[in-house]
């Protein structure tokens, strides 16, 4: 069948096959793995069993309310309902200064977990760590619809809350 293709067709097929082979050998794909969510720490941190070891995962690109902040418990419960004791796909980004793995977490066939939190109004797109236009749009929509933490008059982002010493001033 390949011998019936034109020269351009064979060249196109060669390029496509080369690209697919590159993707399959790509180190980016090597950083994807599956694990079992054994614990939800808070609205943006969970523990995932990776074989015999437990990996603390910080959701990439977002920041959920801190313990003691309004909507902190709602964010944690949202995560628990979706992924606790479930298998998830982890796409690694980096390690943070606390040794946690920063990653995108997806339950098979579902929206990425951080994006789902932002969509529900239970987390901010982290202004220092994400320029993701999808997260920006989801946050804008949640604000407009006054969902979750956006039902408050002036919600305090966690990165400011922490600087204030969790007193809320």
**114-163 pLDDT tens trace:** 999 999 999 999 988 888 999 999 999 999 999 999 999 999 999 999 88
CA-to-CA distance for 118 and 48, rounded, in angstroms? 21
Backbone angles phi, psi at 61, to 5 degrees: 80, -5
Q: Domain extents for the chain? A: 1-29, 31-162
CA-to-CA distance for 25 and 22, rounded, in angstroms? 5
User: Is the pLDDT assigned to residue 58 strictly greater than 80?
Assistant: yes
DSSP designation for 137: H
User: Is the pLDDT assigned to residue 18 strictly greater than 90?
Assistant: no
Averaged pLDDT for residues 51-80:
96
Which residue is associated with the tokens 């995962």? Answer: 57
CATH topology for the 31-162 domain: OB fold (Dihydrolipoamide Acetyltransferase, E2P) (2.40.50)
In the structure, what pLDDT confidence band is assigned to residue 30 with cuts at 50, 70 and 90? low
- Entry pTM: 0.79
Residues forming the active site: 58, 66, 100
CA-to-CA distance for 126 and 168, rounded, in angstroms? 19
Going from the C-alpha of 72 to that of each of 64, 82, 101, 112, 121, the distances in angstroms are 7, 16, 21, 19, 11
Give start and end residues of each alpha helix (H) in 55-157.
72-83, 113-119, 133-144
Q: Please name the residues in contact with 135: beta carbons below 8 A apart, sequence gap of 6 or more.
A: 61, 62, 114, 115, 118, 125
In the structure, what pLDDT confidence band is assigned to residue 5 with cuts at 50, 70 and 90? low
CA-to-CA distance for 80 and 134, rounded, in angstroms? 23
Bridge-partner residues for 33, per DSSP? 90
């Amino acid at each position: 069948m390949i011998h019936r293709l034109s020269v351009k067709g064979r060249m196109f097929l060669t390029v496509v096959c080369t690209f697919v082979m590159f993707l399959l050998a790509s180190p980016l794909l090597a950083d994807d793995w599956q694990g079992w969510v054994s614990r939800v720490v808070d609205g943006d941190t969970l523990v995932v069993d990776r074989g015999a070891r437990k990996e603390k995962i910080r959701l990439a690109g977002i920041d959920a309310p801190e313990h003691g902040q309004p909507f902190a418990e709602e964010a944690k419960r949202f995560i628990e309902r979706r992924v606790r004791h479930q298998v998830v796909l982890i796409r690694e980004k980096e390690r943070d200064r606390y040794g946690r793995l920063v990653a995108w977490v997806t339950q098979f066939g579902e929206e990425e977990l951080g994006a789902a939190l932002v969509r529900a109004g239970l987390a901010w797109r982290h202004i220092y760590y994400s320029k993701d236009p999808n997260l920006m749009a989801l946050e804008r929509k949640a604000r407009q619809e006054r969902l979750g933490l956006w039902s408050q008059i002036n919600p305090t982002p966690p990165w400011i809350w922490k600087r204030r010493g969790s007193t809320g001033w």
